[in-house]
Every structure is written in structure tokens, then in C-alpha cells.
Structure 1
Amino acid sequence: MTARRSRHRSAAYAALALGLAGSLALTGCNSHSSKKSKKSSSSSSKSKKRKIIGGGAAAAGAGAASRRVPDCYPSTYKVTFSQQTGPKSHVAVKFKNSTSRDCKLYNAPLLRFDNAKRPLPLLPGTPGHLDGTRITVPAHGYAYAVIPTNTAATKGTEQKSVAIDFMGVSASSVTHGPATVDFAEKRLHISVGKSKVTNWSSSIHGAQLAGGVDK
């Protein structure tokens, strides 16, 4: 073999070697770029999932807040009184929830007749007596309490007015009030003496039963 042919072959091998090295380098770059792209795509997907989960939790929290039941408020038109006569004589106290959402009442109404310093006591033995009992009054629904007046002492004398507070979870707490009802203005004849009042009930029959004046 001549020296010239040997030089030609050496040059061809060198060119081939350079070509192979360039191809391998390009493949490595492409592989590295592909891995980066996959990592970026995975990270973006995780971030989107976190956002969706976070948004769902916030929405759930907002939904729970909107479902919280507010306290009921007394007013001269929401709380009404009526006197029932006979052997089972009693004063019926009726609360109307005039709003479009539920509200809650605790224990019993606090009633101070004719500017009395202390409210009417709760009737002993009333279900839930001073134990934080709560009832939910549905939208446009009613709640009832009863004041037994079936003896001369409990019937007492005719009252002119009553101030109403709504009790909280304890006997010493008040959520809202007072609202004052003028019986003369409403042409009502309400007689109350040494009486006591039952807890709130979802039905008039339940309140009468608690007061021992059910018919």
C-alpha cells in the first residue's frame, strides 16, 4: 500500500469518527431536553391539581359558612301572645320566623311583664330546662312557649306590657332583645301572676304538654 492511499484512509476514518461523535452529542442533548420537558409538564400538572384541590376546599368552607343557622330576633310583630281560658288556662307565646332562612332559639323566652326587674322563671321539669337546648325554626315557621295560668296565683292580674329577650345557651346569657309588646295597643287582655314559662317548642301541643295544660 502506498503512502498516499494510507493518508486517504486515515482522513476518511477521522471524518467518520467526527460524524459519530456529533451524532452522539446531538442525541444526548435531545434526551436531556426531553427529560426537562417531562419534568416541567409533571410539575405543571401537580400545580394545577393543587390549585383545584385548594379551590374545592375554599368552596366547601364558603358553603359551610352559608349553612350556619343564625339566631332568631324578637320583635313586636314576630312574638305574639294569646290567653286561653278554662281549666287548662294558659298564655300562649308564639314566635314567627318571618325570614326566608332558618333561625335558632335557645331554651325559653325571657319575659318581663310590666317592667319587672326579673324575667318570668322557667318551669321546672321542662324538657331541656336550662341545659342549652336549642330548636331550629324553619323559614316562615313557628315556635311556641306556654305560661300556665290555671290557678288564681298563676293567673294574677292583667298586664299592660311585656319586654321580650331571647335567651342564649345559658340562663344568664341573652342573644337578642328586648322587644316590648304593648297589650293595650294591641287590644290584648293578658293576665299573669306567679307564673313560669316553658321552653320553646316546635309545636303548640308540645308546649302545652310541657306546661301541663294540654287538652
Structure 2
Amino acid sequence: MTARRSRHRSAAYAALALGLAGSLALTGCKSHSSKKSKTSKTSSSSSYKSKKRRIIGGGAAAAGAGTAASRRVPDCFPSTYKVTFSQQSGPDSHVTVKFKNTTSRDCKLYNAPLLRFNNAKNPLPLLQGTPGHLDGTRLTVPAHGYAYAVIPTNTAAAKGTEQKSVAIDFMGISASSVTHGPVTVNFAEKRLHVSVGKTKVTNWMSSIHGAQLAAGVGK
């Protein structure tokens, strides 16, 4: 009887040990699987956040590039319907040169218009002096806005004789550079009477009054 009991107890202990080993193995498996799942979720979340940051960053960079591009202001272009001339008589006689920006976008003008009346070799001198590379002026003309320059003709020499035509160039930042032109306005075709002699032209101004004051014919 003693030997049988001993064998039964040994078998029971062996079964119990086998069961515990299986339980521990299963627990370890589950723990490893859980850790792996958590690591996978963390990695996936981190990857998603990283991608999200890249997308947001890329969008911001694209928006910045678009803003920078929209801030670039192109040069204004002359044409016979954009540049018009008119002459005022009296003690403050002067010729007004008016430019209209016919586009829906701002454009920029530099210094003064270069005007060659009757195919003259040299343009009309600038009233405010010849600009250099560093002291040139720039005027931004808003969409559908205007810019003005004035030629004083309030003396006999300044008024001179009636002109037939004028060629117009748009100056660059310095006196030696030209951005666009020339275009020619035929005064006879447009039925205009413009008399210009030994005189000068002002820089482009944003208002007619400002241009008149610069020419010494405004009050």
C-alpha cells in the first residue's frame, strides 16, 4: 500500500508541475503579446504624429512660398492707352503725364518717365536730378490706380513749340537702366496740342497735386 501511495503522489505532483509550467508559459506568452501590441500601437501613433507634423510643416512652407510670391510686385508696362498727356495753360502752365495701371495687380514705377519729344536724341532732363544705383525712387501703383509726372511750361522757353510726338521709356532704379519701352504717342492722331521747350520732368508721384508741387506749379 505504501508503494502504491507513493506512486500516486508522484504522478499527482508531476501532473501539478506540468499544469503550473503550462500556465506560466501561457502567462508569459500573453505578457509578451501584450507588450508587443503596446509597442506596435506606440510606434504607429508616433509614426502618425510624425507624418502629421510633416504634412502641417509642408503646408505652412507652401503657404509661406505663396505669400512671398504674392508680395512680388512686377514692373509697370507703358502703352499708348496707359500713358496720356494733357496741357494746362495760364501762369502755372504745365504738361501732365498720367499713367494708369489697367491691371488687377499692383505694379512699380522707378524715378521718372524718359520722354523724347519729336524723336529727340536725348530724353527730357529730370527735375529731381539723375538717380544713381542707390538713391533711385520707387513708386508702387495700386491695381487700377494712377501715377503722375509734371513738366513745367510756365515760361516762354519752357513752353517752346508744339510737339508732334513723344517716345516714352520707363526708367529702372538707375539712370542707366530702362525697364520697359519705348512706346510712341502721336499727338496729331490723338488731336492733342502739347508744347514743350527747354524744361524738365518730375519723378512719378501718387497724386497730381504732389507732382505739381514738385514742378513748382502747384499751390
Say if 1:209 and 1:70 are closer, same or farther in 2 by CA, change over 3 A.
Answer: same
Give, in angstroms, the shift of residue 112 of structure 1: 0.6
Which portions of structure 1, spanning 4 or more consecutive aligned residues, are displaced by more than 3 angstroms?
Answer: none
Question: Residue 87 of structure 1: SS of its match in structure 2?
Answer: coil
Whole-Å separation in 1 of the counterparts to 2:67 and 2:128:
40
Which residue in 2 is equivalent to 1:3?
6
Which residue in 2 is equivalent to 1:189?
193
Question: Residue 63 of structure 2: SS of its match in structure 1?
Answer: helix
Whole-Å separation in 2 of the counterparts to 1:91 and 1:202:
16
Give, in angstroms, the shift of residue 125 of structure 1: 6.1
* Identity, % of aligned positions: 71
Whole-Å separation in 2 of the counterparts to 1:192 and 1:44:
73
Q: 1:103 aligns with which of 89, 102, 107?
A: 107
TM-score, reference length from structure 2: 0.90
Give, in angstroms, the shift of residue 50 of structure 1: 1.0
Question: Residue 120 of structure 1: SS of its match in structure 2?
Answer: coil
Q: 2:94 aligns with which of 87, 90, 94?
A: 90
Question: Residue 79 of structure 2: SS of its match in structure 1?
Answer: coil
Which residue in 1 is equivalent to 2:123?
119
- The residue type paired with residue 214 of structure 2 is A
How many residues align? The count is: 213
Whole-Å separation in 2 of the counterparts to 1:174 and 1:181:
18
Structure 1 regions of 5+ residues with no counterpart? none
2:152–2:200 Cα contact (<8 Å) kept? yes
Q: Give the number of the structure whose alpha-carbon radius of gyration is greater.
A: 2
Whole-Å separation in 1 of the counterparts to 2:104 and 2:10:
102
Which residue in 1 is equivalent to 2:32?
28
Comparing 145-154 and 179-188, the one that deviates more: 145-154
TM-score, reference length from structure 1: 0.92
Mapping of residues 35-114 of structure 1, within 5 Å: 35-114=39-118
Structure 2 regions of 5+ residues with no counterpart? none
- The residue type paired with residue 15 of structure 2 is A
